[in-house]
Structure 1
Amino acid sequence: MTNLSIHIPDQAATVLAGLARFQGQTPEQLVAALVEHYLEDAEDLADALEALADDEAPIPLEQVKRELGL
């Protein structure tokens, strides 16, 4: 695991500490989880943009629902 030191505004640190306490975590644990979620979302976005850029025809939503049994 890597340590990272960041500077955030005092107001953000106060809110972060309160949210972490509410969730039963330390601020460091909460920030680590937030960074992981952000990176996962960024990867999903990159995948979606790549899929949009390919030349394959899109699959209609109704067809996807049928195939998934929804």
Structure 2
Amino acid sequence: MNTFFFGSVVILALLLFFPVSKLVWVLSVRRLERRLGRETTDAERRGQLSRARFLAIFVVLVFSFLFNYRLLDG
């Protein structure tokens, strides 16, 4: 594994981070609203956003690594 491989992993992860975090955020807010039976407050939404961003970091890094491993080394 060389510099090009790790560079492509990082670039793909950066490109996927915002769409994936937005998707995770929307799904988690909808699930929370359905569970609570009411609309969420701004503080609850900010909490869900930070949680979604934290989860998205791991999801995009793992996906990017596996995708590039299969594409470039497999």
The bucket for the TM-score relative to the shorter chain is: 0.3 to 0.5
Please say which structure displays the higher CA radius of gyration.
1
Structure richer in helix, relative to its length: 2
Question: What TM-score do the two structures reach when normalised by structure 1?
Answer: 0.39
Instruction: Give me the TM-score of the superposition, normalised by structure 2.
Output: 0.37
